[in-house]
Amino acid sequence: MANDRYDLLVVGSGPGGQQAAIQAAKIDKRVGLIERKPYLGGVSLQTGTIPSKALREAAFLASRFSTQGMREAFSRRPGMGSDFLSDAVQKKDTVVEKSESILLGQLLAAGVTIIPGEAGFHDPHTLRIAGTSGKTEYLSADVIVLATGSRPRRPEDVPFDKDRVLDSTSILRMRRLPASLLVVGGGVIACEFATIFAPLGVSVTVVDSHDQLLAHLDEDIAGNLMEHMLDMGITLHLGSRVKSIRRQGERVQLLTDADALHEADALLYAMGRQPNYDRLNLDRAGLVADDHGWVRVDEHFRTPVQHIYIIGDLAGRPSLASTAMEQGRLVANIAFGKKSAPSPAPLPMAIYTIPELSHAGETEKQLLERGTQYVAGRASYAATARGQIIGDYRGMLKLLAERTTRRLLGVHIIGEGASELVHVGQMLMGCNGTVDMLAANVFNYPTLAECYKAAALDCIDQLGDA
């Protein structure tokens, strides 16, 4: 059996895989990057993060005219919504194409060998590659990194058809806007798509079993988003479990556990994701998935088989492109004995709804559960000149500070630019900074970043001389 040997083989070219490959190549390792799809970038670039955010940007620009005004405009001009979606999809395709070209250039410049084909373990150090031309080869490596990502969860009792009953991948391939859309789920993906389609004139109904959307967020932030969604005309049915989903001609019907019947032109099922382990032949590597389908890793993303690492969505939460990239970089360094420590700053989280949400550090829920004494300082976008200029009157920035040390423990933002603004607080927390440091800082005027100073002063007012 012919065998070619590498220092590192990476399976999957998403954010984590590409960074692991590039970092290892930078330290003069022979690296092979295996990708089964005819394109690079994985779910993040091709069917997830980048496409959905490109579509979101188009919807956001439309929503700036005012939510009600946009709904009326689309309803008065039949076909306008479809033309808009077609243009938005074309823009999305252009962004993906350019991003893939940039990624290819980076990999080649680093000296990474790109290997097309389907990878599965032959033994713990060897991968069997089924090539696109039908040829099979066996490649071995000292270190193997699995970064094959995840896919939308698709229960058997949901009649997915890529036409009317959709998941988060197939909905991005739509070429015409439905008049109405049912969204099943109250998590990140569900909320993002609900707020993308509503400003485009689509009648959106969200059905979820929880009493609060985005249940991991603090109630004031989630509540703020829900108010925005209601203003967009989105109907929320919370605390409702789905009993059945079925196609009825050109319509989709959803029945809840309370026997309430909902009907729409299309349905998005957004109830979680599952790992892409099924084609890897894990047993041949000595790896076993748990009852939930995941292979557990240690704090360095190492599996029980010490030379095999798992990163990105495949490693479970937080399942973010940003964290996957950092995991890839860290793993490449750790695997080859290069000193590398993770950032002391908490991970930033962003939700690209309209409006954006972002946070880093602790939530009030977590602090209350631990009995931590803290204060919450708030600042409204509407109180800033920049907020008035852009017309974001509901945006808010919240800081959580420990009473005794005055250290910043968490930052939570809802409003335009939230995903960018959060990094100021994130980096300060990485330095064990205090709210006094924010209050003493001078921010450009007029900016939304001034909210940091206002929220810090609010904290200080509550702290007094504590």
Cis before 355? omega within 30: yes
Angle of the 49-63 helix axis to the 188-197 helix axis, nearest 10: 40
Q: How far apart are CA 262 and CA 207, in angstroms?
A: 9
Q: What is the predicted pLDDT for the residue at 316?
A: 81
Q: What is the predicted pLDDT for the residue at 53?
A: 81
The answer to whether residues 310 and 185 touch, using CB atoms and an 8 Å cutoff, is: no
The answer to whether residues 229 and 194 touch, using CB atoms and an 8 Å cutoff, is: yes
Q: What is the predicted pLDDT for the residue at 37?
A: 84
Report the relative pairing of strands 357-361 and 408-414 from DSSP bridges.
Answer: antiparallel
**In Å, how far are 164, 190, 355, 383, 438 from 206, measured between CA atoms?**
16, 8, 17, 32, 39
Q: What is the predicted pLDDT for the residue at 146?
A: 96
Q: CA 179, 185, 186: angle at the middle one, nearest 5?
A: 105
Q: How far apart are CA 134 and CA 400, in angstroms?
A: 57
Which segments of the chain have a pLDDT < 50?
1-2, 66-80
Integer-rounded Cα Rg, in Å, for the chain is 24
Q: What is the predicted pLDDT for the residue at 201?
A: 87
- Tell which phi-psi region holds residue 286, choosing left (phi > 0), alpha (psi between -120 and 50) or beta: left
**Cut 0.85: pTM above it:** yes
Residue with tokens 């940091």: 452
Length of the chain: 466
Contacts of 179 (CB under 8 A, 6+ apart): 202, 203, 265
- Residue 341 backbone phi and psi in degrees, to 5: -125, 145
Task: Report CA dihedral (99, 35, 169, 316) to the nearest 10 degrees.
Answer: -100
Count CA atoms within 13 Å of residue 367 on its CB side.
Answer: 20
Q: Can you list the domains of the chain with their CATH numbers?
A: 3-48+89-150+274-335 (3.50.50.60), 154-271 (3.50.50.60), 348-463 (3.30.390.30)
- Residue 465 backbone phi and psi in degrees, to 5: -100, 15
Q: What is the predicted pLDDT for the residue at 1?
A: 45
Q: CA 99, 101, 103: angle at the middle one, nearest 5?
A: 70
Count CA atoms within 13 Å of residue 345 on its CB side.
Answer: 19
What SS3 state is found at 194? helix
Adjacent-strand bridge partners of 341: none
